[in-house]
Each structure stands twice: as C-alpha cells, then as structure tokens.
Structure 1
Amino acid sequence: MQPPEEPVMDVAHLGHVELLTPRPEESLRFFVEVMGMTESGRKGDSVYLRGWDDYERHSLQLTASRSSGLGHAAFRTRSPQALERRLAALRAAGNDVEPHEGELGHGTGWRFRDPDGHLFELYYETEWYEAPPALRPALKNQAQRFPGRGINVRRLDHFNCLAVDVRACRRFFESTLGFRCTERIELDSGEEAGMWLTATNKSYDFAFTKEAHGVPGRFHHVTFALDSREAILQAADIFLEHGVHIETGPHKHAVQQTFFLYVYEPGGNRVELANAGARLVLAPDWRTITWTEEERRKGQAWGLKTIESFHTHGTPPLPPNHD
C-alpha cells in the first residue's frame, strides 16, 4: 500500500473577510451595535472591525460599494517560507498572483482568483491588536475586554461561497493551498453540490455550495462564533428586539453539526452565528464524509427543512434576466 502524501499545513487560518455593502452606515451600525463588534480603523471606503477575541487588528473589512457581496477573503500562512511555497504552487498551476500593498492591519497581501472568480488573498505579516486602555481585558491572554454590547460575537469563524463548479473549486484549494475536505455533498448525477475545507483542526474554515442560477462569483454567508448554543438563542432575541429578520434557525445543521442562526445585514449579505468549537478534526488521516442527495432531502439534523431562500439568495443580487 502506498503511504499517504505528506499533508501541506502552510495555511494557518482564515484571517479576514471583506464584505461589500451599498448601505455602509447602516451595515456599520448593525455590526457594531447589534453584533457587538469593535471598530479598529478606517481607510478609504472601508471600516475595519473585530470580534473581542480575534487576535489580529481586524477580521471584517466593511467596504462601501454600489452592490453587496464578497470583496475578498484572506488567509494567513504559518511563516514567510510557507507563504512563498503557496505562491509558488499557485503560479506553477497557472494562476495569476498579484501583490496588494497598503492594506490596514497586515503586510503585503498576494491576491488570486479561484475557478469561480472569487478573490482571495494570502499574507503572513500582520498587526496584533493592542487594545486601548478602555478596552484592555483583566485577563492578559484575551485580546480585548468583553464588550457587553449586543450579541458580542467572539471571533470570525468561516465563510461560504457559491460556485458554479464546486468540485473544480475544491480541487483548486486542495492542490494549491493544501486544504483538506472534511465533508461534501454529491448529487445523484455525480455533481458535487457542497464541500467544506479546513487548514487546521477546526472541522472547516470555509465552504462552497452550488450556485443555483449558474452565475459565478457570488457569496452565501459569513459566520461569527459565539460561546454556546444558549448565546445563539439569546442572539435570536436580540435580533427580534432590533427588528432584524431571521431567515432560519436557531437549529442544527446535519453537515458539520453546527448550531446555527441566519440573518441578513442591511447591505443584503447573509450573516450566520454559530457555536464556537462545535467539532474538531484531530485525525491526521480523516476520511471525507460524503452526503447523498437523498440524505440531504431530509433537511437539517432535527428535521427542519432547509428554507428555499437558503438555496436561492446570494450576493451580489442576480443580474437582469435571471430568476
């Protein structure tokens, strides 16, 4: 029997996600007052935000734009050498990789696109968050004081892109960046309808699911972690008090077993809350779990049927002549 290939562990974690919003002031109020995030800087058309336990300066870049959607998603590598190895692998596979300078909070970001057209970034040099006196925590191993405002999201957890060809995107991230696929969905036709990838012992750092309209480059949601299921139930009440429409949940996914709650921020992007540390993948030889079309028809873990908008809503909005 052939020994398994040595795993590539050059990507350390998901660093930040940029959301585009046509309603920047309302989106900012949502993330600060309702979600409980902390503003950590401004530059150009962007405001930079963080959860109270994110160690870097920011985990969310909120950028004013004519439309909604994903600006880019960024991963930090484990070392400068790891960054060079991944850039070399991207170039060897025929991908264009361009430097992006002058971003707040980190050094040179190297940007590239996946097969569906989403923009991604790799970087290593970063700015660790230094809390001002009013936000310094009592515990020195905590990034900042618990804000005690709104939902109090702890940290960025993952994101989900939509893709026309999910399998092509999975193979791209596996072969160039070394991500591992922990779970996936395969339809009766053989088409791949969903995949969940990790660079760490988390069960997933991001996911791709099938784009229902054949339009590339669209975004499904970004997810922030809370400490417990109870915190997510409390978040549902806070959304109710602020008049925020709850799309679906609280409930439990069958895939990855995440306890979830979904809403839309004012710019139109979907936002999920999830329980932190729901599952860890400790096995170095983890075998990918594949869900069938019949299994997925059963809905979520406790029988809740997946709401139709979960398959149809994405950002940016569909172009004309699509429904």
Structure 2
Amino acid sequence: MKKILKKVILMALALAVSCSLLPIASHAASTRKCYTISGGNTIVYSDTGLTRKYGTIFGSDELRVIDVTGRYTRVTYPISGGRTKTGYISTGAILWGTSGQSYTSRARITTYRRPGGSSYGYVDAGDRVVILGNSGDYTQVKYPVSGGYKYAFITRSNANQYLTGGGTSGSSNNTATSLQMPLDNARCTWRSYSNWSWGNNRNGGGGGRVYHLGIDIIGSNDNVHAAANGRVAASGWNGANGNYVVLQHNLNGQTVYSFYAHMSRRNVSTGATVSKGSIIGTVGNTGSASGGKHLHFAMMNTLWSGSYYGYATYFTGNKVTYGNVTYYNPVYVINNGRLP
C-alpha cells in the first residue's frame, strides 16, 4: 500500500511540474527568420571575432536569428539529416541595418527573401513595419509573422506608397532625432591628437592647409553605419576621397550633410533613404588615405559633389567656413544633438 501511495504522489508531482512549465513555454521568446542577402554561400564562424570557420550557409537555407550586433549575428541554420547548427556570421550578410524607423502598413505588401529573389510572404495591412535600409529598387524591412518576425525585402515603390508616404511614424525618414558614431567602438587613428583630430595639424606644426576638417577613425569592425536617418545625397568615387557617401539629414529643422570617405565598398546609391545605424559601406583606404585603412567622417552645411576639403588653414572652435562650405565638428554634433 505504501509503495502504491508513493507512486501516486510522484506521479502527481510530475504532473504539477509539467503543468507549471506550460505557461513558460507559451511565453517563449519570439523568433526572427530570414535568408542571406546575396544568395551565395556564407561562411559561419564559431567565434564572435569571425576568425574560426565553422560551417557554410547556402542561399536556400532559412535562418533563425538569435542575437544581432553591428558586427556579428548569432544564427541557427539547417544542416544534413534535418539537424541544425548555431554559429556566427557577419551582420552585413543578412541585414542592411540593425534598427530603423517604424511605420504602419496601409496595404498588403509582398515580401521577398532577398532583392530580386523568391517571394517570402507578405506584410499585412495594419502591421507595424521597421525599415532597416534601402538600396536600388528594394527596401529591407522587419515585420511581424505568427510566432515572431521576418527580415525581408519589399520594393522601394511599395515602401514609398504604403509605408513612408504619409504613413504613421514618429518623424520623417530624414529627420535626425539623434545621432551616432558611424563605427562601432570608434577610436581616432592619429598617433597624437586632441578632439578626435578635429582641427588638428597633420604635420604637428607649421602653417598652410594642414588643419583637419573632420575626424579619422577606425572601429572594432569595418561596417560603416549611417550616423542618423537621412537620404543618400551622393554616392561615388574621386581621387581624393576614394569611395564616398554623403547623407542629407534634417537636424532640428536645419539641413546638414554627413560625409564618409575612403571606403572599400559602398552599399547605397544616390536617392536611397537610410535609417540610423544602417550599414552604408565598408572601411577602406581608397583615394588619398595615405595613413592606412580608416574612415574620414565629416559634417557640412551643403552638398558639394563629394569633393570636400579634408584640411583647411588654421582655425579654432567647432565650426569653420572654408571653400564656401561650413564644416562642423562631428563629435560636437553627435554629443549635443545640434549644430554649433
């Protein structure tokens, strides 16, 4: 009798424990799904430094996103035998940006796995959609689905017609409500500097046009992020600046341009809209980047074909007008959220 009673008690305890776990399971973290942008093979790494190769993701593999940073993303991907593996990939392999402006969709919109790729479902009318970036004819979005979210692509025309064109948003898409450094964990590349190299003499002394009109920086990875919401005013190449991008922003009702130079690659085209933090290029040493790989980052009051001066004659303070362009200390603007 005692053995039977003990067995009944143990069964009751097991049932109570399993029932107590049910609410936890029903409130599990939502999933995020996507495909790689390129459609080709993507290397997976076992470490966040993306140095130890661990596997391969194929273009046909649907991924589950676990954690996202500006440099790397932790994902689960399928392998043979119906199994899965978890590893790290470059964030740029799946995302044009890690955050963005939110809009309410006013119609059903077809989504795609990648630009020009197969359909992936749809955004429904009333869904809250985050725009992560734009390039060419496509816009990347994050939108809700049953059990979580998807990262996918919609056409730029649909984004303009059903999301941003009069859609519900906290601010217009090029309004810079806040700014950030364009590189993760940015640091100045100059051996000796003050104020992030703004206004510093590149020769350490002497006169002439040797005083820096921006800042030279490197980060913990090579992804170049948009400093704020904006529009791509120019994207091109010239001998001095190499691959460059110019973004136009609206900061407290004033138009300001941010300038990104010497990149090895540009991810955006002229006319595209970008969200703060979206990846617009890759750090490089193109043009006259004689000091090695770095990003020359500057802010100005006007668009001038991308051929901005990198140096001026002696000046002080957080802004200076040189060659009919007014330059602002970008660190001051980012830290204060306004022009000097």
TM-score, normalised with respect to structure 1: 0.29
With a CA cutoff of 8 Å and minimum separation of 6, indicate the structure with the bigger relative contact order: 1
> Which is richer in strand?
2
> Which is richer in helix?
1
TM-score, normalised with respect to structure 2: 0.28
Higher Rg:
2
